[in-house]
Amino acid sequence: MLAVLSPGQGSQKPGFLTPWLDLPGAPARLRWWSALAGVDLVHLGTTAGVDEIKDTARTQPLLVAAALLAAEHLPGGSPAGHRRGGLYDVAVVAGHSVGELAAASLAGALPAESAITLAAVRGREMAAACARETTAMAAVLGGDRIEVLAAVDSNGLHAANHNGAGQIVVAGAAGQLEKFAAQPPAGARVAVLQVAGAFHTPYMAPAEQALAAVAAGITPADPNRILLSNLDGAAVSHGRELLQRLVRQVTAPVRWDLCMRTLADLGVTGVLELPPAGTLAGLIKREFKGSDGPEIVTLKTPDDLPAARNLIARHGMIPCHEPTMPFRVVVSVSAGTFEPAAGLAEGDLLSANQLIGHVSTRQGPVEVAAHDNGVLTEWLAHHDDPVAPGQPLARISGTPL
């Protein structure tokens, strides 16, 4: 099983898009997206310096554009804005922070234009929120996780990114962060990050509100592959819920540790990181030590495309070209045990949003509903079956093609 990942802010480097501009159609694509984003993506990806590309308002649309541009040159890569999404043989997609917008587009939930526009609004509004108060972020490496989180809380700070492999990014008022860094938890090392402010904390509330106002005008589709959410590592199967989560993520912590746990639960064997690649691959290598981890390819330049295509060919799903009935697969969004709805059997007619069962979790039952009208063709999980996030539960078919 193959997962494609899109990195977030901090992964960019000066000139990282320069070699991609030699590919057919790439400059025109970036100019079109620049018009939507209100920034010059060609300049930012090629000739801009370090200070310019770490500006949040510029960085966020640049990162989403870079991932989508590279994905178009992979097997199944679709033209910008194609609603079905590209990479038809990829089972799982995920993104870190703003990278979730690129992942949503690759999953067919958002056209590329919508993802770029939302990234631009998100970046501008988060930059504006940073200017309201003096805040900062720092990476905490090592130490006991429980002790680190307790110290973060006692200092009035927020755990903004749970990156796994012993790394937590904390954020909050600059003065409080300085005190925390001066007296770190036992066994921990604190490194202050060169960012504009406290991302993924309540300080970003104005940005969340502004993004919500723009997102309200977008009609998302349901993802057509497993799309993992930074909020809790769960698979999101409904487009409207996905959009709500993308907006909420501006102030909510990034739980990349839970996303990596879900990748393991799903049995992912291959990981492809889109440009500017390297950061997420490093986290996965540290999290999955030894030979049990997935095979990883980092797509940094067009020279890496052959290796990426080879990875997809060996770990991707095998497309079926035979005539078939159109169907949707309902997946679990949480880990737990599945309980089908009483009296519901294969062959029954279903209506959109009809409850078909629930997943029992430690936090309580999580309802599972049909996406659209159709026929319950096949149960893929049964009474008391243990299920993981993203695991298929039922197949629902519509009318013949």
Q: Are strands 92-95 and 226-227 parallel, antiparallel or unpaired?
A: parallel
291, 316 in Cβ contact below 8 A? no
> What is the C-alpha end-to-end distance of the chain, expressed in Å?
27
The tokens for 210 are 């502004």
Q: Is the dihedral of CA 59, 111, 275, 290 positive or negative?
A: positive
190, 205 in Cβ contact below 8 A? no
120, 61 in Cβ contact below 8 A? yes
| Annotation marks residue 229 as catalytic | no
Q: Is the dihedral of CA 397, 75, 227, 246 positive or negative?
A: negative
Report the distance separating Cα 392 and Cα 333, nearest Å. 10
200, 249 in Cβ contact below 8 A? yes
92, 68 in Cβ contact below 8 A? no
DSSP 302: G
Catalytic residue, chosen from 34, 97, 105, 334, is 97
166, 142 in Cβ contact below 8 A? yes
Q: At what angle do helices 112-132 and 56-71 cross, to 10 degrees?
A: 160
106, 112 in Cβ contact below 8 A? no
Catalytic residue, chosen from 96, 200, 238, 315, is 200
174, 136 in Cβ contact below 8 A? yes
The tokens for 339 are 């309980």
The tokens for 7 are 């990195």
Residues 6+ apart with CB under 8 A from 310: none
Q: At what angle do helices 56-71 and 26-37 cross, to 10 degrees?
A: 140
| Annotation marks residue 97 as catalytic | yes
φ, ψ of residue 280 to 5 degrees: the values are -70, -35
347, 376 in Cβ contact below 8 A? yes
Catalytic residues: 97, 200
